[in-house]
Amino acid sequence: MLHTMDSSANNNHLISNKSKITTLCLTGRNFPEELIDQVDIATEMVKIKHHFDDKYLANKGVDY
């Protein structure tokens, strides 16, 4: 199922109505601040350095 972070009301509904045995993983940029208190884990990943910057090809088992 594809779900975009298009509205806080939709996201709040999704988070509030998930099954107790379901782990919900929402990914992407600009996670709504008002939802952070409702989640167990919130991360923000920022690339510092990557070998793709030096034109290396993807490595099976590492990059995909």
Identify which of 5, 56, 61 has the alpha carbon closest to the alpha carbon of residue 34: 5
| DSSP-derived 3-state class of residue 40 | coil
pTM of the model: 0.47
Report, as an integer, the average pLDDT of 30-41: 82
User: What pLDDT, on a 0 to 100 scale, did the predictor assign at position 4?
Assistant: 53
pLDDT greater than 70 at residue 36: yes
